Structure 1
Amino acid sequence: MRASDRSYATLRDEILDGILEPGAVLAEVEQSTRLGVSRTPIREAFSRLIADGLVTAQSPRVLVVSELDSDRVRGLYELRIALECTAASLAARRRAPEAFEQLRGELLAAPALLDEGAEGLARYFAIVDALDDAIEAAIDNAYLSTAFASARLHSARVRRLAQHDPARMRQAAEEHLLVVDAILEGDAELAADATRIHLHRSLHSALQRIPPRQPNTATATPKGNR
Structure 2
Amino acid sequence: MRASDRAYAALRKDIMEWRLLPGTVLAEVEQSERLGVSRTPVREALGRLNAEGLTTAAGGRGVVVTDISLEDIDELFELRETLEVKAAALAAERGERAVFGELHARLLEAPKLLNDSDPARHAYYALVARLDEAIDEAISNSYLAQALRSLRVHLVRVRRLAADDAERLNAAAAEHAAIAEAIAAGNPRLAEAATILHLHRSLSHVKATHTPHS
Cα shift at 1:160: 2.0
CA distance in 1, matches of 2:112, 2:160: 19
The structure, 1 or 2, with the larger RCO (C-alpha pairs under 8 Å, 6+ apart) is 1
**CA deviation map 1:66-122 (0-9, x unaligned):** 101111111111111000000111111112011111101110110122126111111
Q: So what's the TM-score if we normalise by structure 1? A: 0.90
The answer to whether residue 148 in structure 2 is matched with residue 148 in structure 1 is: yes
Pairing of 1:117-196 with structure 2 (within 5 A): 117-162=117-162, 164-196=164-196
Tell me how many residue pairs correspond in the alignment: 214
RMSD over aligned Cα atoms: 1.3
Question: Which residue pairs with 1:224 in the alignment?
Answer: none
CA distance in 1, matches of 2:94, 2:82: 18
Q: Look up the SS of the partner of 2:128 in the other structure.
A: helix
Cα shift at 1:130: 0.6
Question: Which residue pairs with 2:211 in the alignment?
Answer: 211
Pairing of 1:36-185 with structure 2 (within 5 A): 36-59=36-59, 61-115=61-115, 117-162=117-162, 164-185=164-185
- In structure 2, runs of 5+ residues without a counterpart are none
**CA deviation map 1:147-188 (0-9, x unaligned):** 011111111111223453221111111111111111122211
Aligned residues of 1:69 and 1:211 also touching (Cα < 8 A): no
- In structure 1, runs of 5+ residues without a counterpart are 215-226
Aligned residues of 1:162 and 1:168 also touching (Cα < 8 A): no
Percent identical: 49
CA distance in 2, matches of 1:208, 1:22: 20
CA distance in 2, matches of 1:212, 1:144: 31
Q: Which amino acid aligns with 2:150?
A: S
